[in-house]
Amino acid sequence: MTELVIIGGGPAGMSAALAAYENGVRDILILERDERLGGILQQCIHNGFGLHRFGEELTGPEYAWRYEERVRELGIPFKLNTMVMNITADKEITATNSIDGIFTIQAKAIILAMGCRERSRGALNIAGTRPAGVYSAGTAQKLVNMKGYMPGKNVVILGSGDIGLIMARRMSLEGAKVKAVCELMPYSGGLARNIEQCLNDFNIPLLLSHTVVKVHGKKRVEGVTIAKVDQFGKPIEDTMEFIECDTLLLSVGLIPENEISRSAGIDINRITNGAYVTQSRETSIPGVFACGNVLHVHDLVDYVSEEAEIAGENAALYIKGELKNDIDIPIETDGKVRYTVPQRITAKEDTKIFFRVANVYENATIKVYNGDEIIFKTSKSKVAPGEMQCITLKAQLLQNAEKLRIGLEVF
Amino acid sequence: MATRELICIICPKGCNLKAELDEDGKVLEVTGNTCKRGAEYAENECTNPMRTVTSTMRCSDGTVIPVKTTTPIPKGKIYECMNLINKGVVNLPVHIGDIVIADVFGSNIAVTENRT
């Protein structure tokens, strides 16, 4: 029996482990499938991480090291090159590596911190041939930043999420010509600062309401056809344009990696593709917690660390038999608010609610209802799907709450 | 007098800034910022824009290691800085923060990862 097993040794897994340790848990094991701790931060060599947490701009590897160093100092055990293949509702974990073979661990509590993976070309139905030179942006990032290979010289990027923007700059710095970044939506999903410093600094055009409709080339990408899309996202035929390129990078969304969560029978939210959780980040299976990008995709690693600490602290309470679950208030959303995390509140404590909106809205008022009664409201000059929102509900607001609904009013 | 509209790159908030400039390009007033660093950014951006450069460098064992300028350098020097980074070789072992090229446009190039 291991008290706490953490699946994933990225920023979420390490933060969760440290928080659990600080709350008295000593019997911890982190399982990590890569050969190093740090997760995706290892390949995010650009700066901008840690402003909230540390008040300074760190690169990904530097941010990860702050946590890894502490994990090592405290002697928290971890197994690298170890793949978890299955977890059960009884919290039995089956994993494998080349030293231990296939082995099982019975855990008292589990924290899911497996992160997310990129949507691939197959999910997009782009017509055309299947040549070499089509990469997800993250794969290209790994090739350039960790392996030292350039995936191509003339590049078109589909998707203007932060990874796509960061890779536009990275490829440019390494001598490639980035011809365009196409974005299906009429707005970018990335941070404004990244459009400024990754595209504008390098004179890379951002084509909003544009998509790639065809890939050309037999052995290697020879070009792509792009087109403007109408308000329904449908390509407009007479706007089609051929762009010569040898590489297409896809930055078209991230999917939490919840295969083992699903097989354990954990309830998964169809919008976040992550588990339904309470404010303690406990999933539908008692004693199984989730945090980081496996729960919902975050904009900033600082928020991942914060969420993972919540999961770690509460896993420690669960192990000690002190986790509070005395009430059950579900949180619903209206159409303008796509989802919240958590989706239920089970203790009358000050609770931070994280949520994402469905569209870009200006002069929006966020309202929290208990039945028909407004118990909280706050105004924002602008909200966008790419920016996670957060409100704090004080414990006294939850006194008489039965069912909460979060809505957005736009004037 | 001229006005320049900028997006602040100091933090993920990305504030929309407006800088009022006089005929000589001197910044008279910055609005739209929500912190002091935003005003500073707008002023620098209009007079001498600076950027932190992050990249990778070859190591003596053939692998690559992430590096950064320890402070921002003039934006116009980014590609010259990249040339220096691409010519250099990092002798292992190194510890996070070790300077591998000194005096690069008023900054230094440091590794951002440990490597044995």
pLDDT tens, N- to C-terminus, chain A (411 residues): 999 999 999 999 999 999 999 999 999 999 999 999 999 999 999 999 999 999 999 999 999 999 999 999 999 999 999 999 999 999 999 999 999 999 999 999 999 999 999 998 888 888 888 999 999 999 999 999 999 999 999 999 999 999 999 999 999 999 999 999 999 999 888 888 899 999 999 999 999 999 999 999 999 999 999 999 999 999 999 999 999 999 999 999 999 999 999 999 999 999 999 999 999 999 999 999 999 999 999 999 999 999 999 999 999 999 999 998 889 999 999 889 999 999 999 999 999 999 999 988 999 999 999 989 999 999 998 888 888 999 999 999 998 899 999 999 987
Using a CB-CB distance cutoff of 8 angstroms, which residues of chain A are in contact with residue B68?
A: 45, 47, 59
Please count the structural domains in chain B. Answer: 2
Please report whether residue B116 resides in a domain. Answer: no
User: Distance from B112 to chain A by nearest Cα, in Å?
Assistant: 6
Q: Which residues from A are below 8 Å from B55, CB to CB?
A: 45, 173-174
Q: How far does B22 lie from chain A, in Å, by closest CA?
A: 24
Within an 8 Å CB–CB cutoff, is residue A207 touching chain B?
A: no
- The reply to whether B106 and B60 lie within a common domain is yes
Mutate which: B8, B17, B54, vs A, most A CBs within 10 A: B54
Query: What domains are defined for chain A?
Result: 1-117+254-323 (3.50.50.60), 120-252 (3.50.50.60), 325-411 (2.60.40)
Partner residue opposite B51 with nearest CB, options A147, A192, A197: A197
Asked if A299 has any chain B CB less than 8 Å from its own CB, the reply is: yes
Of B32, B47, B62, the residue that ends a domain is: B47
Mean pLDDT on B93-102: 97
B99 and B62 in a common domain: yes
Q: What is the pLDDT of residue A104?
A: 98
Q: Looking at B29, B47, B65, which one is the last position of a domain?
A: B47
Task: Say yes or no for a CB contact (<8 Å) between A45 and B53.
Answer: no
Asked if residue B16 is part of any domain, the answer here is yes
Q: CA of B24 to nearest chain A CA: how many angstroms apart?
A: 23
Residue B42 lies in a domain: yes
Structural domain for B37, as ranges: 2-47
pLDDT at res. A392:
95
CA A90, chain centre distance (Å): 27
User: What predicted TM-score, i.e. pTM, was given to this entire model?
Assistant: 0.94
Are residues B71 and B100 both part of a single domain? yes
Residue B95 reports pLDDT greater than 90: yes
- Both B9 and B27 in one domain: the answer is yes
The answer to the question of residue B106 being in a domain is yes
Q: Is residue B70 part of a domain?
A: yes
CB contact under 8 A, A148 and B58: yes
Q: Which of B7, B10, B112 sits opposite A62 (nearest CB)?
A: B112
Residues B58 and B107 in one domain: yes
* Chain B touched by A191 (CB under 8 Å): yes
Task: Clarify whether residues B38 and B60 are in a common domain.
Answer: no
Say if the ipTM goes beyond 0.90. Answer: yes
Residues B79 and B40 reside in one and the same domain: no
Set of chain A residues whose Cβ sits within 8 Å of the Cβ of B113 = 42, 61-62, 65
Q: Is A195 on the interface with B (CB under 8 A)?
A: yes
pLDDT value of residue B13: 80
Q: What is the pLDDT of residue B51?
A: 95
CATH assignment at residue B104: 3.10.530
Q: Are residues B73 and B34 both part of a single domain?
A: no
**Distance between CA atoms of residues A121 and A123, nearest Å:** 5
- Show residues of chain A in contact with B10, CB under 8 Å: 193
- Residue A167 at interface with chain B, using a CB cutoff of 8 Å: no
Does B90 reside within a domain? yes
Q: Do residues B76 and B34 share a domain?
A: no
> Three-state SS string across chain A, please?
CEEEEEECCCHHHHHHHHHHHHCCCCCEEEECCCCCCCHHHHHCCCEEECHHHHCCCEEHHHHHHHHHHHHHHHCCCEECCCEEEEECCCCEEEEEECCCEEEEEEEEEEEECCCEEECCHHHCCCEECCCECEEEHHHHHHHHHHHCCCCCCEEEEECCCHHHHHHHHHHHHCCCEEEEEEECCCCCCCCHHHHHHHHHHHCCCEEECEEEEEEECCCECCEEEEEEECCCCCECHHHCEEEECCEEEECCCEEECCHHHHHCCCCECCCCCCECCECCCECCCCCEEECHHHCCCCCCHHHHHHHHHHHHHHHHHHHCCCCCCCCCEEEEECCCEEEEECCEECCCCCEEEEEEECCCEEEEEEEEEECCEEEEEEEEEEECCCCCEEEEECHHHHCCCCCEEEEEEEC
Contact criterion met (CB < 8 Å) for A193 and B8: yes
pLDDT at res. B72: 95
Contact B9 A196 (CB under 8 A): yes
Same domain, B84 and B107: yes
Q: Are residues B63 and B104 in the same domain?
A: yes
Same domain for B105 and B82: yes
